[in-house]
Structure 1
C-alpha cells in the first residue's frame, strides 16, 4: 500500500472514500465533520439519519466505522468513524487505532482503492498530534487491507510535520 501525506482540505480530495472524524450522533458537528457535511450536502445527513434510525440508535460507538454516500464531494463514499477523546489517565490508543483499521475494513467492503484520512481525534478531542500520528501510521501499516493508497490529509503544517515524522 502507498502511504502519502497531503497538506490541505480533506473535502477536496479526489479519492474513492474520505474518512470523517465524526461525532457519535452522525449528525454533523464542527471541524472535519462539519466541513464534510457542509460540502457534501444533505445526502450525507439523510443517510446518517437512516443509520441512526436503524443500526445505530444510540450513535456510532467509538472506534467503529460506517459508510454513507459522499453527496456532492469528489469522493464516492464517506466513512464515518468516532475517535476517542484523549485522556491522560486512561490509555485509549487501541480505540484510536481501531478507527483506522475499521475504516479500512469498511473501505475493503466497498471496494475502495484510495482512502483519505484526517488526523482523527486531534481537534476538539484533544489527542496530541505526534502521538495520534504515530498510532494512525502504525495502525494503517499493520492493517490487512486491499486498499492501494492511504492518504493522510492534514489541515495544518504542524499536523503535516507530525505525520511526516511518524511515516519516517
Structure 2
C-alpha cells in the first residue's frame, strides 16, 4: 500500500489520489455521484447535499434531473468547493449494457463542464462503486484512463481522485502508474 496522498505529473496537468471526505476539499468543483433526479440520496450524493445545505437542493430542483453518463453544474453553496458537478453513473448489470462506456462518459462530461467554466481544480469520487455496484477494480482504470485522455485537451490543471477507502485509492494509484507510462 502506498502512503496518501499520491501525486503524479501527467501530460496536461497533475493527478492526485487521496483518501478522505470529498465534502472538505477546497477546489473549484467537486463531482457528485448523483442519481437521475439530482435531489440527493445516499453515499457521496447525500454527503454533498448535507454539506452544501438546502440551497443546493433548491438549485437542483430547477435542473430537471440528469441522464446516466451526463453532467450538470451548480454552485457549491456551503461547501469549500465553488461548484458541484453532478453526474449520474451507471448501475452495474454485469457489464453487458454499456456500463463501461457510460462510466467513462461521466468523467469525460464532468471534465468538459469544468473546461467550459474554466475550472482548474476538480475532485472526483469513485463514481458508481458504491450502491450502484460497479466493481472498483474495473472502475478505477476507466476513471483514470478517461481523465488521462482528456487532460491534454481541457484547461483543468489538477484532478483529485478522492477515495473513501485506502483500497479504492490503491486501485486508482495502480491504474495511474500503469496508464501514465
Per the shorter chain, which TM-score range?
A: over 0.9
Matched with 1:118 is 125
User: Deviations 1:3-38 (Å, cap 9, x if unpaired)?
Assistant: 110110000001000000000000000000000000
Distance in 2, matches of 1:92 and 1:28, equals: 22
3-state SS of 1:66 partner = strand
Following superposition, which runs of at least 4 residues in structure 1 exceed 4 angstroms of deviation?
none
Match of 2:55 among 43, 46, 49: 43
Query: What runs of 5+ residues in structure 1 fail to find an aligned partner?
Result: 53-58
For structure 2, the residue ranges without an aligned partner over 5 or more in a row are: 1-12
**Could you tell me how far apart the structure 2 residues matched to 1:146 and 1:131 are?**
27
Match status 1:156 vs 2:165: yes
Task: Summarize the alignment of residues 19-168 of structure 1 with structure 2, pairs less than 5 Å apart.
Answer: 19-52=31-64, 59-88=65-94, 89-143=96-150, 144-168=153-177
* TM-score between the two structures when normalised by the length of structure 2: 0.88
Distance 1:49 1:91 in 2: 28
How far 1:91 moved relative to its partner? 3.6
Tell me the matched-pair count: 162
8 Å CA contact 1:11, 1:36 repeated in 2: yes
How far apart in 2 are the matches of 1:127 and 1:140? 18
The RMSD of aligned alpha carbons is 0.8
8 A contact 1:130–1:166 mirrored in 2: no
How far did 1:124 drift?
A: 0.3
